[in-house]
Amino acid sequence: MRDLEGKTAVITGSASGMGLAFAECFGREGMNVVMADIEEPALRVAATRVESLGATVLPVVTDVGDEGSMDALGQAVRDAFGAAHLVCLNAGVTPPTGPIESLTTNDWRWVFDVNLFGVVHGIRVFLPELKARDEGSLVITASVAGLTSFPWLSAYNATKHAVTSIAESLYAELAEDGSRVRVHCLCPGMVATRIGDAERNRPKALQNAGGVAPPSPSGDLSEYAGSFEHFARQPPEVAELVLAAVVEERFWIETDSVYREAIKARHRSIENRTPPPATGTIMDPYFAK
């Protein structure tokens, strides 16, 4: 989709992090921007920030894991601007790191509601209109965790593998139909966002009794905190990569190449029927010699 001026972008998880950077980026390109997020105070502040760039902005408080809330988002977009042209299904959370048996049913339900069903609901709400117009783009935020399977992140890995597969399947379906609607799969590595603090937005019904248990030492990523700022991408950098992929109509979007060997090793293990190769933590590739 090369001509963005005057068209409408819908971005979930846009009160902070990558979503906010996407809103700013597409707003500067002359698009109307619909900003959806569950965190109302932060969303109001973020919307004002994007409006200051000269963009027309519609903030909509949205729980992406809730079917009715996503239906309401779709209706708000139609009422304000008509059908959307660009939809970034970006909202995401991560449960505590640690062994798979330490995760509660609430942990699994929460991360699946946001990371997986947020994408499922978004496709259901917005794809028919994109297909009817035979124009537009869907950007699905997956992760390198959807291309690898490092330990201590089982629930997060599972959702990101799922949405990567959804993006690939949707691409194939649209190609079979001869559709001009494009799909883009964003697989970022480490990005300086607040996803590690996502617990602040966990619904009360899915909170664990007694609070959140600390991560297992074997799955604790805190030892990397001091080095994080040296290798994490900044959200505006990622937004520019997404913009380029949308304009150039490219499917895969990566933020760096540090995980390429880990991805290749996983593919080789599947081809050769050998055990999964990922060990250590998802941060280790940044420190590989």
54 within a domain of the structure (yes/no) = yes
Q: Which residue has the tokens 């959702």?
A: 159
3 within a domain of the structure (yes/no) = no
184 within a domain of the structure (yes/no) = yes
119 within a domain of the structure (yes/no) = yes
Residue at 29: amino acid letter: E
Average pLDDT rounded to a whole number, residues 191-219: 76
Q: Is the pLDDT of residue 96 over 60?
A: yes
What CATH number is attached to the domain comprising 107?
3.40.50.720
Q: How far apart are CA 203 and CA 125, in angstroms?
A: 23
Q: How many CB atoms lie within 10 A of CB 126?
A: 23
Q: How far apart are CA 76 and CA 219, in angstroms?
A: 41
Range of the domain at 24: 8-287
274 within a domain of the structure (yes/no) = yes
Q: Is the pLDDT of residue 196 over 90?
A: no
Q: Is the pLDDT of residue 240 over 70?
A: yes
pLDDT at 149: 96
- Percentage of residues in the chain having pLDDT higher than 70: 93
Which among 258, 267, 220 is positioned nearest to 96, based on CA atoms?
220
The more confident residue out of 217 and 185 is: 185
Q: Count CA atoms within 13 Å of residue 71 on its CB side.
A: 3
Q: Is the pLDDT of residue 219 over 80?
A: no
The pair of three-digit structure tokens given for residue 27, joined into one six-digit string: 């707003």
1 within a domain of the structure (yes/no) = no
Number of structural domains the chain divides into: 1
16 within a domain of the structure (yes/no) = yes
**pTM of the predicted protein model:** 0.93
Q: Is the pLDDT of residue 101 over 60?
A: yes
Catalogue the active-site residues: 156
Average pLDDT rounded to a whole number, residues 4-12: 97
